[in-house]
Amino acid sequence: MRKVIAFFRLVRMPNLIIIFLAQYSMRWGIIYPMYRFLNKQLLLNFPDKITNPQIVKFQVSEPLFFLLCLSTLMIAAAGYIINDYFDVNIDRVNKPDQIIIDKTIKRREAMMAHILISGVAILIAGFVSFRLGLGQYSIIYIAAAFGLWFYSTDFKKQLFTGNLLVALFVAMVPFTVGLYELHLSAKTYSILTLPPFEVNFRFIFNFIAGFSALAFLINLVREIIKDIEDTEGDRLYGCRTIPIVMGLETAKNCVSFLILLIILIIGWIQKDQYDSGAKNSFLYLLLFIQLPLVVLVFLVQKGVAAKDFKRPDRLSKLIMLAGLLYSLVIYYSFMGNA
């Protein structure tokens, strides 16, 4: 039982649950209500041509979508395992109380678990991709599995490379949902992309791409904050992170610049929402994303030692969670009009 609990800690079970919810929130919180809205518009504008109220619907079945999410979770879990495997010495300095490998789970067991979980995840992703006629997309999962291995062995020690790689993997979690579903929808409903209908599935795809881009930026912020927290152990074992190579002040300024960039991007989105009367969305972004980001800049600039960045790290996690819950706002906004 002790090893089972240790394994769940090793694979960061709360993080895996968030990844699972992120993919399902893209499916049911964004794509589904937007499909419902499209159906309503088609019925209203072309009642003589369209009689089926559910003409636009999911193309990826529930069982296949679940398997796709399961593959994502397994690759993430394998990534956490291999990261801790190669980080044992660094973690003895940065977080000695949280070490699992070599303490509860043997190194050999961890490596076998990584290989088994990664291998099964790639097989599942390949099965789903080819079953949907999108075999080319299975390369995403293969690249993620190998990318997380090389991140743990090499990239995380390089200046900025590891940060970018992890942020990219996080962004791909919601992005792949839109990639699979909307590729198939645009193909299945190709007639709806032509006059007189001209339904543009690209709008939904761009929405998810924007969501993923913001996920990329906020996770990049968190990765640099974590590097600041872990400076002591990283320096001892030759890591070339931003705070080590460029100094604490430069790292803080990089984080603040990225946060301000996110605030400006969201502000640009809010302007359109304000003009269109989307008050609920405007207020949610203001209260639960924008204001916490301002607080995050303040906390980062105030920090003078590694221990001072625990609060910014926790706050960045909460902002990411708030970003995920924004899908509920989108759901009710579109369902109210569908």
For 249-275, what is each residue's pLDDT tens digit? 999 999 999 999 999 999 999 998 888
Sequence-ordered alpha helix ranges (H) in the chain: 2-10, 13-24, 32-45, 62-86, 88-94, 107-131, 138-153, 161-188, 202-229, 231-236, 242-245, 248-276, 279-285, 291-302, 310-335
For the stretch 208-231, pLDDT in tens is 999 999 999 999 999 999 999 988
Q: Which of 227, 225, 241, 233 is nearest to 92 (CA)?
A: 233
> CA 22, 23, 28, 33: dihedral to nearest 10 degrees?
90
Point out which residues pair with 101 in neighbouring strands. Answer: 105
pLDDT more than 90, % of the chain:
66
* CA gyration radius, the chain: 22
Distance between CA atoms of residues 150 and 155, nearest Å? 6
Q: What average pLDDT does range 16-26 have in this prediction?
A: 95
Give Cα 322 distance to the centre of its chain: 13
pTM exceeding 0.75? yes
pLDDT of residue 164: 94
pLDDT of residue 296: 97
pLDDT at 232 over 90: no
Angle value at C-alpha 269, between 263 and 271, nearest 5 degrees: 100
pLDDT at 197 over 80: no
Amino acid sitting at position 306: A
For the stretch 148-158, pLDDT in tens is 999 988 888 88
Residue 53's pLDDT band (boundaries 50, 70, 90)?
low
Distance between CA atoms of residues 248 and 239, nearest Å? 15
Amino acid sitting at position 156: K
